[in-house]
Structure 1
Amino acid sequence: MTKMKQIKNILPKAALAVMLLAGFTTQSDAKGKKMKSEPVFSNFVYEGNDKMYNENPLEANEFYNPILQGCYPDPSICRKGDDYYMVVSSFVMFPGVPIFHSKDLVNWTQIGHVLETKSQLRIAELGISRGVYAPTIRYNPGNDTFYMITTQVAGQLGNMVVKTKDPLQGWSEPIKLNFGGIDPSMFFDDDGKAYVMHNDAPDKGKELYNGHRVIKIWEYDLEKDQVIPGTDVIIADGGVDITKKPIWIEAPHVYKKDGKYYLMCAEGGTGGWHSEVIFISDNPKGPYTPAPSNPILTQRYFPRDRANKIDWAGHADIVLGPDNEKYYGVFLAVRPNEAHRVNTGRETFMLPVDWSGTFPVFENGLVPMEPTLKLPAGVENKTGQDGFIPNGNFTYKEDFSADQLDYRWIGLRGPREDFMEKTKDGIKINPFEVNIKEVKPTSTLFYRQMHQSFSYAVDMAYKPETAKDLAGIVALQNEASNYVFGITVKDGDYYIVLERNEWPGRRDNKKSTVLASQKIDLKAPVRLKVTADGDKYEFSYALNGTDFETVGGTVSGDILSTDVAGGFTGCIIGLHATKANDIQP
């Protein structure tokens, strides 16, 4: 069996045992089988149709940026031999820390998640933009071990590390690390020594302004898997030039090249002033001197209304390419729509890096970025084929018949297996007594919005029994900013409803508005659909599968963007069921 087939066939540690239960034979449809209050979803189709891709068809030697579309931020990458592994932030998505594999930096396969169990991922009662921040993946050739180090913000673990000999075979239980701050990273030197660096607050009483942060480095004991007390040193204070009051120096990585040590960090916050900066030293613990030409990556200097706009670039990691000569960097950025919303969230991009001089510089990272890149020498673009993740405009169909659920389907704050079952008719969701607006695990199976313009449609066999029952689709940015589109019952009649939930400024000032409700004749499965054209969203249904009726007209996607709703995630769209419905038709 080839390595790639092994990757495709690998099962996650948290096996989908619950999904393999006996088929749900009493659900269904116009054939006379009784439908029940546990919805069964089937015939899912997601289709992306972005103008950027339509107007920029690929040449034979090109591939698209971003390489991971949708909410896949804060990428980190490492290499062992010919194999590349990449991880991204997941916040309170469950399982956590998606992990990807490639041989050539262009064609990627998701091989699972690093954090797959409740003991590894303790996020059940956290807001959506808490949880797992900025994971770093590193390979230590000294002990032939991979490490993934991250912060579980506001949870029980804080800064933590897991490790494995083989990323295809699962990861250890988390080891809690004894330091504060966020964004930890690791560095393994040629002499066998190990180090951890991270973002932290200045020493007590030394904070000079709002957003003033420092980068610390510790020596790390590989036997005890712990930082060594008393070895911490501040190696960057404020940023490149503290007299200019730079904010949020974070996401540090240390590299070694030609006998010199390089500290690369994000600076400027994760919004419009985001950038990447670089420092140099003769020693891993400093002192570090900033490069004279910082930043080495940013999109902050260009017109707001430029074509094919890519913005907020930063939070990067660098790796040596397959030819062992050219370097490449992965980083987060956003693709705002025509209303300057970022509903697709922070995505993973890549650029070649010129490191022919003393300091690395992202090629074309200091001019307006383009949607296409040239393939590395000798690489063929196979995205969307042979199990590789697609990019650009693509169609994804899912009949839920495979033994293993696609890794792109995720839960929120808890395992998918706690609420779903595989049946012969599709995926059944057993609803929790939890409303989508609560900060608890929800009975919702989510898929990331990956395009500014898209359609997302699914068949649902369902008959609610009480007014507390509702099932359908949610488009969600967070627990206080979302749309709920589903079916409920009132006085013996079935209704399809659309509700907008928003948070105008304060979390204790949530506002819920029923935009539309109408009685429907629910005798067979209904097809539900949400479509978007930039900032314009529509929710519709069809009783015959083809003739769709819009509910609530065209609505704004504003609350599905981080610049309105706050936080760090993009829009995720879910197959949802609840026994805690509060929408009144």
Structure 2
Amino acid sequence: MKKNQPFLITILLALFVFTGCSAQKNVPVFSKAVYEGNDDVYNENPLEEDEFYNPILQGMYPDPAIARKGDDYYLVSSSFAVFPGVPIFHSNDLVNWTQIGHVLDRKTQLKVFDTGISAGIYAPDIRYNPHNDTFYMITTQFAGGFGNIVVKTKDPMQGWSDPYKLNFQGIDPAIFFDDDGKAYVVHNDAPNQGEELYQGHRVIKIWEYDLEKDQVIEGTDKIIVDGGVDLADKPIWIEAPHIYKKDGLYYLMCAEGGTGGWHSEVIFVSDKPMGPYEPAPSNPILTQRYLSQNRDYKVDWAGHADLVEGPDGEYWGVFLAIRPNEKGRVNTGRETFILPVDWSGKFPVFINGLVPMEPKLKMPEGVENKTGEGDYFPNGNFTYTEDFSSDKLDYRWVGLRGPREDFIKFTKKGLQINPFETNIKEVKPTSTLFHRQQHKDFSFTATMSYKPKSEKDLAGITAVQSEKFNYVFGVTRKDNKYYLVLERTEKGSSKILASKEIEYKDEVQLRVEAEEDDYQFSYALKGEDFQNLGGTVSGDILSTNVAGGFTGALLGLYATSANDAIPE
């Protein structure tokens, strides 16, 4: 036994080094993160007992779709290059929502590792097929060679299949199950080659769908809407189609006008699922485009909707809209709203969907508002505190282009983020854990222990609209000294706004806060008060107005071993 002791000692030392790696000083540990929202609209419009706030999902939850099975409602939204993808929520009453996970949570389902932040997952649709007791989620994945895909499950609480790749082009697919058991897919597509009439000219196409093969049936495709409600008006971007059946008629509802200021929702009708479809005489049935730009508590860009029968027997519609800040900029992204729908006549109409939207709604009959209680998602003004003491991340924490599990580790002192040799400006998976910006007035504060070894090491927080538009605020090292550095990146060009040498004893609190378009970054060393670094900076680069794309601002806990934000 003695002759084996050197070998055993070597093994024990190796194990000690390996298990002790979590204590390496150049690997940051975040012991606390606090997000606090404080928008005037909620302070000035307190809820009565029978009311709830709109939007129901604040921050970047665009392109909502909703399905019902019995008393259970499931809602999904777009996620682009966020990983995991397609957040999914459950409710029994359309008011109180619990996030139950993400539909696409595996690398076999979601391949966004090399794509820009606004590519990836677009416009998911979710439907329940009572004929085979199966849920379907169909979407476009602009990444990984996928295109249009469908996944399915018997129980949304228990995970989803790997994707079935679908044989058609275009975007925004939706699936419809008829009473006779047949299935159909509708989607946005380009006009037939040579028939394009103007920029933004699109069509809605329908296919029969083979439920056994999970594939559209070749040769069944047909254009059912050309351009939009009235081709003579040159309507743009007819998209996000959904088919519903009511009183023996088939209704096709679509977004029209693009996802910006001319966005709207329109409706068509037919006596057959394959058409022809005729537009309603009173389109659009939802829009905010005709209203004063100076209205209070402005909600805009309303459209991209889906309908469902509520627990009160009345119809409701979920849709995307935005709440711009005082400079008209969109930093919180496109959010999920809801309105009651009057379908007492031939065509559905969103109640108060053509007038300025109010921040509050009356609840469905018999429903109690429990938002923010227990596992129910909060809305309005709220504070979310995370100490990372659980061994499972809250679903609202997301990664970018790759799984969170590839870079996080739970320790007794908090959440360790193992830095990738990738920084936030690269189109690669980043070692960053994100929380959405959900208010115009907010603060996001992280407590971090970290000792960088070189100027290539940086950890802290980041505010990101995309890889080309972002702020980085963190601790790095230069000439054997510790520095705080604030960097602004616009159009891919980076500039150090401020840097400061600090007497650093391992722990620091970092904060980003905003009042409308004015953002500030500040820090507090252990036992000290917060100090601003860099003054007040503009949130312009965190808006879709300046950065383009489709996402909302993301606030991240960030680490990198490929830092290029060098203190001056």
Structure 2 residue 283 is the aligned partner of structure 1 residue 294? yes
**How far 1:57 sits from its partner (Å)?**
0.5
Instruction: From the superposition, tell whether residues 119 and 35 of structure 1 become closer, same or farther in structure 2 (CA, over 3 Å).
Output: closer
* 1:511 aligned residue: 493
SS at match of 2:86: strand
- Name the CA distance, whole Å, in 2 between partners of 1:500 and 1:386: 38
Deviations 1:131-181 (A, max 9, x none): 000000000000000000000014311000000000011000100000000
- Name the CA distance, whole Å, in 1 between partners of 2:19 and 2:398: 22
**How far 1:248 sits from its partner (Å)?**
0.1
Which residue of 26, 43, 48 corresponds with 1:37?
A: 26
- Name the CA distance, whole Å, in 1 between partners of 2:472 and 2:168: 41
Aligned runs of 1:185-264 on 2, under 5 Å?
Answer: 185-264=174-253
- Name the CA distance, whole Å, in 2 between partners of 1:26 and 1:277: 58
Structure 2 residue 376 is the aligned partner of structure 1 residue 388? yes
Which residue of 518, 527, 538 corresponds with 2:520?
A: 538
Which residue of 268, 282, 296 corresponds with 2:271?
A: 282
Letter of the aligned partner of 1:43 in structure 2? Answer: K
Structure 1: give runs of 5+ residues left out of the alignment: 1-21, 28-33, 504-509
* 1:446 aligned residue: 434
- Name the CA distance, whole Å, in 2 between partners of 1:573 and 1:44: 11
**How far 1:413 sits from its partner (Å)?**
0.1
* 1:401 aligned residue: 389
* 2:565 aligned residue: 583
- Name the CA distance, whole Å, in 1 between partners of 2:481 and 2:527: 21
Deviations 1:59-105 (A, max 9, x none): 11100000000000000001000000000000010000000000000
**How far 1:583 sits from its partner (Å)?**
1.2
Instruction: From the superposition, tell whether residues 24 and 454 of structure 1 become closer, same or farther in structure 2 (CA, over 3 Å).
Output: farther
Letter of the aligned partner of 1:339 in structure 2? Answer: K
Structure 2 residue 511 is the aligned partner of structure 1 residue 529? yes
- Name the CA distance, whole Å, in 2 between partners of 1:26 and 1:384: 38
**How far 1:544 sits from its partner (Å)?**
2.6
* 2:502 aligned residue: 520
Which residue of 225, 239, 261 corresponds with 1:272?
A: 261
Deviations 1:279-318 (A, max 9, x none): 0000011000000000000000111121100000000000
Structure 2 residue 143 is the aligned partner of structure 1 residue 145? no
Structure 2: give runs of 5+ residues left out of the alignment: 1-16
Contact 1:248 1:268 in 2 (8 A): yes
**How far 1:386 sits from its partner (Å)?**
2.3
SS at match of 1:219: strand
- Name the CA distance, whole Å, in 2 between partners of 1:282 and 1:476: 48
- Name the CA distance, whole Å, in 1 between partners of 2:389 and 2:242: 42
- Name the CA distance, whole Å, in 2 between partners of 1:82 and 1:546: 52
Instruction: From the superposition, tell whether residues 385 and 376 of structure 1 become closer, same or farther in structure 2 (CA, over 3 Å).
Output: same
Deviations 1:290-348 (A, max 9, x none): 0000000000011112110000000000000012x200000000000101111000000
SS at match of 1:273: coil
- Name the CA distance, whole Å, in 1 between partners of 2:252 and 2:528: 56
The list of structure 1 runs, each at least 4 consecutive aligned residues, that deviate by more than 3 angstroms after superposition, is 22-27
* 2:476 aligned residue: 488
Contact 1:35 1:461 in 2 (8 A): no
Instruction: From the superposition, tell whether residues 154 and 117 of structure 1 become closer, same or farther in structure 2 (CA, over 3 Å).
Output: closer
Aligned runs of 1:364-375 on 2, under 5 Å?
Answer: 364-375=352-363
- Report the TM-score, using the length of structure 2 for normalisation: 0.96
- Name the CA distance, whole Å, in 1 between partners of 2:250 and 2:368: 34
**What is the Cα-based RMSD across aligned positions, in Å?**
1.2
SS at match of 1:443: strand
Which residue of 349, 359, 380 corresponds with 1:361?
A: 349
* 2:43 aligned residue: 54
Q: Identity across aligned pairs (percent)?
A: 72
- Name the CA distance, whole Å, in 2 between partners of 1:546 and 1:410: 31
**How far 1:44 sits from its partner (Å)?**
1.2
Aligned runs of 1:549-568 on 2, under 5 Å?
Answer: 549-568=531-550
- Name the CA distance, whole Å, in 2 between partners of 1:155 and 1:55: 46
Letter of the aligned partner of 1:442 in structure 2? Answer: T
* 1:96 aligned residue: 85
**How far 1:118 sits from its partner (Å)?**
0.5
Which residue of 124, 148, 173 corresponds with 1:184?
A: 173
Instruction: From the superposition, tell whether residues 290 and 186 of structure 1 become closer, same or farther in structure 2 (CA, over 3 Å).
Output: same
**How far 1:42 sits from its partner (Å)?**
1.2
Contact 2:111 2:143 in 1 (8 A): no
SS at match of 2:430: coil
Structure 2 residue 70 is the aligned partner of structure 1 residue 81? yes
Which residue of 65, 68, 80 corresponds with 2:57?
A: 68
Contact 2:252 2:269 in 1 (8 A): yes
- Name the CA distance, whole Å, in 1 between partners of 2:32 and 2:215: 48
- Name the CA distance, whole Å, in 1 between partners of 2:142 and 2:240: 15
- Name the CA distance, whole Å, in 2 between partners of 1:140 and 1:109: 22
- Name the CA distance, whole Å, in 2 between partners of 1:43 and 1:181: 43
- Name the CA distance, whole Å, in 1 between partners of 2:545 and 2:288: 17
* 1:7 aligned residue: none
**How far 1:205 sits from its partner (Å)?**
0.2
- Report the TM-score, using the length of structure 1 for normalisation: 0.93
* 2:9 aligned residue: none
* 2:556 aligned residue: 574
Contact 1:24 1:423 in 2 (8 A): no
* 2:156 aligned residue: 167
Deviations 1:106-143 (A, max 9, x none): 00000000001111001100000000000000000000
SS at match of 1:277: strand
- Name the CA distance, whole Å, in 2 between partners of 1:104 and 1:245: 40
Count of aligned pairs: 551
